[in-house]
Amino acid sequence: MGPLWLSMELAVTVAALLLLIGLPVAYWLAFSKWRGKFLLEAVVALPLVLPPTVLGFYALLAMGPHGPLGKVWRAAFGHGLAFTFAGLVLASMFYSFPFAVQPLMSSFEAVDRRLLNASAVLGASPWRTFRSVILPLSISGIITAIVLCFAHTLGEFGVVLMVGGNLPGVTRTASIAIYDRVQSLEYGEANRMALVLLIISFSVLSVVYALNRHARRSLWTPWATK
């Protein structure tokens, strides 16, 4: 499997998983009335602060046989977490977490509270309100979250470098492969791969943003069928 394809697979997996985890976390952060909420908001933003290689270094320690993640994983699957695709996914999820939660949270917060009250008064459960009112009105934020996670993971370098071990087909992503070519002074090959990565990313991002525009104009709401 080529490095570009591997990067795509990683980016799609991470974006999908982060959406699943990001939705409840963002919902809680947007609607909870707990006074200490700001602390959790700060924690969510923390991966933005650390340099990726440093974040990757801590991920490596956490995944090691002496780290908490590594111990749990080893007990469950019988092998280490570092140098595996699953390890990359986990580290990348941590790294891109703020990019999933923050757009979701702001779009949830922007939903008119009167609509939520109306929904509740009409007898809808919180889950029904979430499904039929909040989600359709937050489509922009959801798309932004998916795109940001995808793009951020696709271009990720430092974290993958630190926990990946550069295994072809398993952890050698496009950014690592390009870096390798540069290190080997094969600038031509590096340029070629970088160009392909840019073209693919540009196409994907354009399509998504075009869809997003279309969605906003026509209020395309796949969830609100009933």
Partner 1 sequence: MRFLAINDVRRGKRFVRAFAAITACLLVISLAGVCAPGARINAEQGPAAASLPVLRVAAAADLQFAMQDLAEQFEKKDIAKLQVTYGSSGNFFSQIQNGAPFDLFFSADLQYAKKLDAAGLAEPGTLCEYAVGRLVLWARADAVVDVGKDGWKALLDARVEKIAIANPEHAPYGKAAVAALRSAGIYDQVKSKLVYGENISQTAQFVQSGNAQVGLVALSLAVSPGMKDGKRWEVPAGAYPPIEQGAVVLRSAQNKSAARAFLEFVQSAAGRETLTKYGFSFAAQAK
Q: Residue numbers of the site for partner 1 (CB under 8 A)?
A: 57, 60-61, 63-67, 70, 79-80, 82-83, 161-163, 165-167, 179-180, 182-185
CA distance 91 to 161: 11
CA dihedral (142, 143, 145, 149) in degrees, to 10, reads: 140
| Closest separation in Å from C-beta 108 to partner 1 | 24
Smaller CB separation from partner 1, 136 or 165: 165
Q: What is the residue type of 191?
A: N
User: Nearest approach, Cβ of 83 to partner 1 (angstroms)?
Assistant: 5
Q: Which is nearer to partner 1, 47 or 80 (CB)?
A: 80
Is 28 or 57 the residue whose CB approaches partner 1 more closely? 57
Q: Interior CA angle at 201 toward 141 and 195, to 5°? A: 160
Minimum separation from the CB atom of position 25 to partner 1 (A): 26
Q: Which is nearer to partner 1, 44 or 63 (CB)?
A: 63
Angle at 136 between CA 15 and CA 35, to 5 degrees: 75
Q: Are the C-beta atoms of residues 204 and 120 closer than 8 Å to each other?
A: no
Minimum distance, C-beta of residue 178 to partner 1, in the bound complex (Å): 13
Q: Of 74 and 131, which CB lies nearer to partner 1 in the complex structure?
A: 74
Q: Under a CB-based contact definition with an 8 Å cutoff, are residues 204 and 150 in contact?
A: yes
First-to-last CA distance in the chain?
43
Distance CA 145, CA 104 (A): 7
Quote the least distance from Cβ 64 to partner 1, whole Å.
4
